[in-house]
Structure 1
Amino acid sequence: MTRLRHRPALDVRVEIRGELPREDAEYARARSLALITDLGPDAHAARLRLTRPRDRSVTRPAVAQASVDLEGAGRVRVELATVAVREAVDLALGTLAGRAARLRELGDIGLASAYESSWRPQYAARPLADRRIVRHKSVRLARRTPEQAVREMLALDYRFHLFSDALTGQDSLVHRRPGVGFRLVRAHSTARPGGRWPSVTESPDPAPRLEPAEAARQLWLTCWPFVFHADPGDGRGRVLYRRYDGHYGLITPIAGAH
């Protein structure tokens, strides 16, 4: 007797930010439903967010952020930008499907994704005097080894990943280094007991202690996408990062949580 595996109702959500034709929104939902159906019964909670800002300084204004949860494998996410909305939908969902298949079958999406896509969204040109910290996000840092943090960062298509180092207990950050691999920075001591992963280079220095205004100045002077720094008061690691709308966001760990 063959037992059929029951699949609950598909959880697919499409979020629209900005003005988009109704036909494009319907196209995005249909493609999302097709994706989660093709991935099989262990795929849940597909999300697609479409954004089309009016800023004329951006040459690829159609941004698609897609994600799906895979039972037993975790979450995979992609964020890409193109000129046209449907092109962005197809590119993001196609890339997501390929990465989801690899994550499910091999346990990670491979180091090839260490090289950032040329389709990554662009930063809007905003005058320095107009830039503000418009988003404050407090997070409970997951306890990970640097290797686990890198794999998670790649699966989620992040530029950087803030985590609690399982080896030292410190607030730490891994980030991509185009053409080189990955870099690890800790909030305090750089000593690391145990082995090393060849593609992760440890910073020789701890994170600098900076106030938000100082971190913003460094962000402007260096043109980096983010600045990892330690709070001068409690010593916790924080990340000030550039948003695609030209403003800044600040990520801080939840107080007392390691």
Structure 2
Amino acid sequence: MTRLRNRPALDVRVEIRGELPREDAEYARDRSLALISHLGPDAHAARLRLTRPRDRSVTRPAVAQASVELDGTGPVRVELAAVTAREAVDLALGTLAGRAARLRELGGIGLATAFESSYRPQYAPRPLAERRVVRRKSVRLARRTPEQAVREMLALDYRFHLFSDALTGQDGLVHRRPAHGGFRLVRAHSAVRLGGSGLPIAESPHPAPRLEPSEAARQLWLTCWPFVFHTDPGDGRGRVLYRRYDGHYGLITPVAEPR
């Protein structure tokens, strides 16, 4: 990891993963510094992670993940892929700058981002027998209304967002509905439909299914969905098994709240 600073309170970090020519790595560092210098004094903690795996089975192998922290607004994140490393860097940093400007001016990312970008990273093909849960992440769920969770999901460029539903106290999940340009809300234990949101959020009529890890993995494989939101039969908490771009799986579980 390379850490660069060009003024007090300005923190820019560039991480290179995989096989990249030195010229491309330097290009990524220079472009990151140029972006943060133009975003203004309220921007800090900028990050760029550039990945080019050895696997060439996808048509857009270069993936750039860029993020920045804006005072008074919070984090903004973008993850996009392109054919070359430089294209990925320019695409991600340019998109990040545009979204940061929109947040400042309008206070929101905008519903156009509900649709999946054609530059979204691709899933590498991996035989079923080789797939494993290679990352387990425990998170403390933020208490949000569904609308707040959606806006946070868009700002962070996630496909889904696990949160603690402020309206019901349950674990909940919101996710994009690319074909509809809207969003869907699923709660862990009940299908109470409250409505009243200013966003196009469809509330699921069914609670999340109770699944063992093997059952969730089987459903993920059978449906080809990017993730499966389910509840653990043991503690009843919501969790997400999701597909990683390297063809393996990841698992997100909530941290148990102190009694």
TM more than 0.5? yes
Q: What is the CA–CA distance in structure 2 between the aligned matches of 1:244 and 1:233, rounded to whole Å?
A: 29
Q: Take 1:134 and 1:86, find their aligned partners in 2: how far apart are those partners?
A: 29
8 Å CA contact 2:216–2:241 kept in 1: the answer is yes
- Once residues 175 and 143 of structure 2 are traced to their aligned partners in structure 1, the CA distance between those partners, rounded to angstroms, is 16
Determine if contact 2:126/2:247 at 8 Å carries over to the other structure.
Answer: yes
Q: What are the equivalent positions in structure 2 for 1:60-209 lying under 5 Å apart?
A: 60-180=60-180, 181-193=182-194, 195-209=196-210
Which structure 2 segments of 5+ residues have no match? 1-6
Alignment of 1:217-232 (within 5 A): 217-232=218-233
Partner amino acid, structure 2, of 1:138: S
What CA distance in whole angstroms lies between the structure 2 residues aligned with 1:70 and 1:253?
26
Hey, what's the Cα distance between the residues in 1 that align with 2:11 and 2:47? Answer: 8
Structure 1 contact 142–164 (Cα < 8 Å) conserved:
yes
The amino acid that maps onto 2:29 is: R
Quote the offset at 1:200 in angstroms.
0.1
Query: In the alignment, is residue 248 of structure 1 matched against residue 245 of structure 2?
Result: no
**C-alpha root-mean-square deviation of aligned residues, in Å?**
1.3
SS in 1 for 2:29: helix
How many percent identity over aligned positions?
85
Deviation of 1:193 (Å): 4.4
Contact 1:141 1:257 in 2 (8 A): no
The separation in 2 between residues aligned to 1:34 and 1:198, in whole angstroms, is 35
- Determine helix, strand or coil for the equivalent of 1:221: helix
Does the residue aligned with 1:17 lie in a helix, a strand or coil? strand
Q: Does 155-164 or 188-197 show the bigger shift? A: 188-197
Question: What TM-score does the superposition give when structure 2 sets the normalisation length?
Answer: 0.95
Q: 1:11-34 deviations in whole A, cap 9, x for unaligned?
A: 000001101111111111111111
| Structure 1 segments unaligned to the other structure (5+ residues) | 1-6
May I ask how many residue pairs the two structures share in their alignment?
252
SS in 1 for 2:122: coil
Superposed displacement of residue 107, structure 1: 1.2
What stretches of structure 1 move > 4 A for 4+ residues in a row?
A: none
Structure 1 residues 220 and 257: alpha-carbon distance in aligned structure 2, compared to 1, 3 A threshold: farther
- C-alpha separation in 2, matches of 1:243 and 1:45: 25
Q: Does 1:233 align with 2:246?
A: no
Task: Specify the SS of the correspondent of 1:183.
Answer: strand
Q: What CA deviation, in whole Å up to 9, does each residue of 1:35-76 have, x standing for no partner?
A: 111010000011000000111211110000000000001110
Q: Distance in 2 between matches of 1:198 and 1:190?
A: 19
Matched residue SS, 1:90: helix
CA distance in 1 between counterparts of 2:258 and 2:99 reads 31
Rounded Cα–Cα distance in structure 2 between residues aligned with 1:88 and 1:149: 28
Instruction: Kindly provide the amino acid, as one letter, of the partner of residue 158 in structure 2.
Output: Y
> How many Å apart are 1:8 and its aligned residue?
2.5
What one-letter code is carried by the residue in structure 2 that aligns with 1:160?
Answer: F
Once the two structures are overlaid, the 10-residue window that deviates more, 107-116 or 190-199, is: 190-199
1:165 to 1:71, Cα distance in 2 relative to 1, 3 A: same
Whichever residue aligns with residue 52 of structure 2, its letter is R
Is contact 1:167-1:192 (8 Å) kept? no
Aligned twin of 1:4: none
Partner of 2:18: 18
Question: Does the CA contact (< 8 Å) of 2:193 and 2:203 recur in 1?
Answer: no
